[in-house]
Amino acid sequence: MLPFYITKSLLAIKNEISNLTPIGETYDHNTTLNHKYDLFKNISPEGIPKIRYYGIGINGCRYVDEHNSLVPYVPKITDMDLYTPIPFRCVPVSNDLSAAERTLYRMRVMQTFGGIDYFCYYLKVITISTPDIVLAETDLTTGDETILVLDNSNLYPIPDELVVVDSLDVNKEGSAYVEGILTIMGFEVLEAINVIYEGDLTKAQISEIGLYSGEDKEVTSDITYTESIYTQLNVHKCMIAEDFSSQSINRTSNVRLLSSANFII
């Protein structure tokens, strides 16, 4: 049993093909987090949405025996959000985040818990760590990766001469990617757990991560701020739960946003 499973959503696949073909995007607002949370739900993006944000959840695994062994769920390609998402920030409406703090988060939703109104920020902005798109070729047998550089001499390609056809190495895959940084802070998780689950630390177990596409747009409600519009789940990861029951627990991980050369002709 693997410690995690990762699934790319149909929404992501649809966005990719829309970006590559003349068909273009047909917007379905009912598939967005904006629709789910009734948050600027009818605004269309100006271009193809990009992967910009990530979210966390607490329902990505389950117990399977009397020894409390955990196994992750396998996300479905039809998933449009995490199974049990929790916000990164959950602050009273009377004590909202500062303008500087808000730049780190998206999906600002007003919700009521225990008779008190809170602003819940469900997504966080991915920090992109590569200055440019990286091109690579990966050997699928060994996992070895070779970084490639585009050479315009390949406008005049020459076929390889093979003595034996069976010697052709087809077990390689080309990809283009950028890398990003995801950070989950203990105080963020506990803030949500304290408000939503009345401080039940057994809930402070992060077992889901989602990557979301959308478009930043300046919007106005009670304030003017930057919000994500047309926000969709692109990647759903379910994993063995990680403990965040202390404010001193912080996790930083790298994520690779890639597109592989896997066309069928």
Task: Give the number of C-alpha atoms closer than 13 A to the C-alpha of residue 120, restricted to the C-beta side.
Answer: 22
Q: Which domain holds residue 193?
A: 4-130+180-246
Residue 105 lies in a domain: yes
How many domains would you assign to the chain?
1
Residue 151 lies in a domain: no
Residue 219 lies in a domain: yes
The CA R_g of the chain, rounded to the nearest whole Å, is 21
CA distance 98 to 102: 6
Residue 27 lies in a domain: yes
Q: What is the predicted pLDDT for the residue at 163?
A: 58
Q: What is the predicted pLDDT for the residue at 263?
A: 44
Please say whether the beta carbons of 63 and 92 come within 8 A: no
Residue 229 lies in a domain: yes
Residue 232 lies in a domain: yes
The one-digit pLDDT tens for each residue of the chain (265 residues) are: 569 999 999 999 888 888 878 876 789 999 999 999 999 999 999 988 899 999 999 999 998 887 778 899 999 999 999 999 999 999 999 999 999 999 999 999 999 999 999 999 999 999 999 889 999 988 888 889 999 999 999 999 998 776 555 555 567 888 898 999 999 999 999 999 999 999 999 999 999 999 999 999 999 999 999 999 999 999 999 999 999 999 999 999 999 888 755 444 4
Please say whether the beta carbons of 109 and 122 come within 8 A: yes
Please say whether the beta carbons of 206 and 184 come within 8 A: yes
Q: What is the predicted pLDDT for the residue at 199?
A: 96
Residue 256 lies in a domain: no
Residue 216 lies in a domain: yes
